[in-house]
């Protein structure tokens, strides 16, 4: 007589638990293996999306639009704009710089986050996000929002760096952009991207207003920048100067207020809503020596770039339709392109220049304010008022 033995439930449970434990590790490893590098044409393009303020989708109304735009206008207009930008620019990386959702109006934070990032997820383009001051005001904490983001498809976002044991905030990390495959810079990070959590609101009772980048974050940035510079300026293919760095976070630094109409490209239509204290991060970046530009959001109807002590300070410009804006002043997005130098042997070298422009959500996705942020041969060129992104 044949005896059929049942599988022991305990063994099945152990196997399932083992798979559940391994799965997050596999996901992290898969993200780490997705190496970002310059295209074969020597370019790397970044699309910045600032202040989507996404809430509940179709039922969430638009703010500050023309009377003719009110009917039927919703979060879906924000989604449509992202899709248009992805189709037009075909970026290599999409960066969401905070207030991705507007927590007060988002019924379910996870669902709102999924919907807000849906175009990036569907595009199969790598994307990252940092937090603003409104992302945590729904059903997830600040940590919970970032932990949810890192589970989404195609994102290279991180909750925090694995080598930083003590660091403030959530969403501090960096990405290394490799040179063209097959070139002498294939195994070098020729462009470094830093992402930081600029906080939400002050946690110091005697200090009102918004949050700021804390000493622990600045220490991590300094250590990371120094490590990357050592690697870039060491053999093989040792370089004489650091690779350029770009920094992304949400709340502008107090130094953004140093500009007037004569020394920036773009517009300033509201005050600079920075923290009421200066934590010194701008000085930290200047001292590091590799940062060429900073990109923020937060002040929706400011979209300028201005150069201060060798660093360009740039707003992305308000993107989302459920965010405050200015009726008749189109929602917009910022594009940044880093270009490599052509070598004598018809190959690709290090970064030669970094330029930017913005596109408006109008009939033609009009490109405006194209200019060079940084180049090896000059300190930056003055503006051309209109551009098609060429």
Q: What CATH number corresponds to the domain at position 277?
A: 3.60.21.10
Q: Does residue 352 fall inside a structural domain?
A: yes
Q: Does residue 17 fall inside a structural domain?
A: no
Q: Does residue 24 fall inside a structural domain?
A: no
Q: What is the mean pLDDT of the segment spanning 95-105?
A: 97
Mean pLDDT, the chain, whole residue set: 90
Q: Is the peptide bond before 236 cis (omega within 30 degrees of 0)?
A: yes
DSSP-derived secondary structure letter, 298: S
Q: Does residue 11 fall inside a structural domain?
A: no
For 27, how many CA atoms within 13 A lie in the half-sphere containing its CB? 15
Any bridge partners for residue 245, and if so which?
192, 291
More confident position, 344 or 122: 122
Q: Spell out the residues 6+ positions from residue 65 whose beta carbon is closer than 8 angstroms to its own.
A: 73, 321, 325, 327
Kindly report which listed range (22-31, 90-99, 280-289, 325-334) carries the lowest average pLDDT score.
22-31
Q: How many domains does the chain fold into?
A: 1
Q: Which of 184, 281, 195 is nearest to 237 (CA)?
A: 184
Q: What is the pLDDT of residue 381?
A: 42
pLDDT one-digit tens code per residue, 188-204? 999 999 999 999 999 99
Can you tell me the distance from the alpha carbon of 121 to that of 254, in angstroms, rounded to the nearest whole number?
Answer: 34
Q: Does residue 387 fall inside a structural domain?
A: no
Q: Which of 7, 10, 118 is nearest to 54 (CA)?
A: 118
What percentage of residues in the chain have a pLDDT greater than 90? Answer: 84
The separation between CA 375 and the C-alpha centre of its own chain, rounded to angstroms, equals 21
Q: In degrees to the nearest 10, what's the CA dihedral of 46, 375, 380, 382?
A: -70
Grade residue 345 by pLDDT with cuts at 50, 70 and 90: confident
User: What is the C-alpha end-to-end distance of the chain, expressed in Å?
Assistant: 81
Q: Does residue 152 fall inside a structural domain?
A: yes
What separation in angstroms does the CA of 285 have from each of 205, 293, 295, 299, 345?
Answer: 28, 10, 13, 22, 35
Can you tell me the distance from the alpha carbon of 330 to that of 325, in angstroms, rounded to the nearest whole number?
Answer: 9
Grade residue 33 by pLDDT with cuts at 50, 70 and 90: low
Q: Does residue 37 fall inside a structural domain?
A: no
Query: Is residue 382 predicted with pLDDT exceeding 60?
Result: no
Q: Provide the whole-model pTM.
A: 0.90
More confident position, 61 or 344: 61
Angle, to 10 degrees, between the axis of helix 142-149 and the axis of helix 109-116?
40
Domain that holds residue 95: 44-375
Write out the two tokens for 338: 């880093």
DSSP-derived secondary structure letter, 182: T
Q: Does residue 347 fall inside a structural domain?
A: yes
């Amino acid at each position: 007589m044949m005896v059929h033995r049942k599988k022991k439930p305990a063994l099945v449970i152990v196997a399932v638990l083992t798979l559940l434990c391994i799965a997050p590790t596999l996901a992290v490893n898969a993200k780490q293996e997705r190496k970002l590098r310059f295209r074969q044409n020597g370019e790397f393009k970044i699309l910045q999306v600032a202040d989507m303020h996404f809430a509940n989708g179709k039922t969430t109304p638009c703010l500050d639009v023309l009377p003719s735009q009110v009917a039927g206008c919703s979060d879906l207009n924000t989604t449509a704009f992202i899709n248009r930008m992805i189709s037009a620019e075909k970026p290599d990386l999409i960066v969401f710089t905070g207030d991705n959702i507007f927590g007060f109006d988002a019924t379910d934070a996870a669902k709102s986050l999924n919907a807000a990032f849906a175009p990036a997820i569907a595009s199969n383009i790598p994307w990252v996000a940092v937090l603003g001051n409104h992302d945590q005001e729904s059903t997830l904490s600040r940590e919970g929002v970032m932990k949810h983001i890192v589970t989404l498809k195609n994102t290279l976002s991180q909750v925090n760096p694995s080598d930083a044991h003590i660091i403030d905030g959530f969403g501090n990390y960096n990405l290394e952009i490799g040179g063209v495959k097959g070139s002498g810079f294939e195994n070098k990070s020729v462009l470094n991207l830093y992402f930081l959590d600029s906080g939400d609101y002050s946690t110091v009772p005697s200090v009102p207003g918004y949050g700021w980048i804390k000493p622990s974050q600045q220490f991590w940035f300094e250590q990371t920048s120094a490590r990357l510079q050592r690697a870039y300026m060491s053999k093989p293919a040792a370089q004489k100067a650091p690779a350029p760095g770009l920094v992304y976070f949400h709340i502008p630094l107090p130094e953004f207020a140093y500009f007037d109409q004569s020394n920036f490209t773009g517009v300033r239509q509201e005050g600079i809503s920075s923290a009421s204290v200066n934590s010194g991060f701008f000085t930290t970046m200047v001292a590091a020596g590799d940062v060429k530009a900073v990109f923020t959001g937060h002040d929706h109807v400011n979209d300028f770039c201005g150069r201060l002590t060798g660093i360009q300070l740039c707003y992305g410009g308000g993107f989302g339709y459920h965010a405050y804006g200015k009726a008749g002043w189109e929602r917009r997005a910022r594009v940044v392109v880093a270009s490599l130098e052509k070598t004598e042997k018809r190959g690709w070298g290090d970064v030669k220049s970094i330029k930017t422009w913005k596109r408006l959500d109008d009939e033609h996705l009009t490109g405006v304010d194209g200019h060079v942020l940084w180049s090896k041969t000059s300190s930056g060129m003055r503006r051309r008022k209109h551009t098609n992104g060429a």
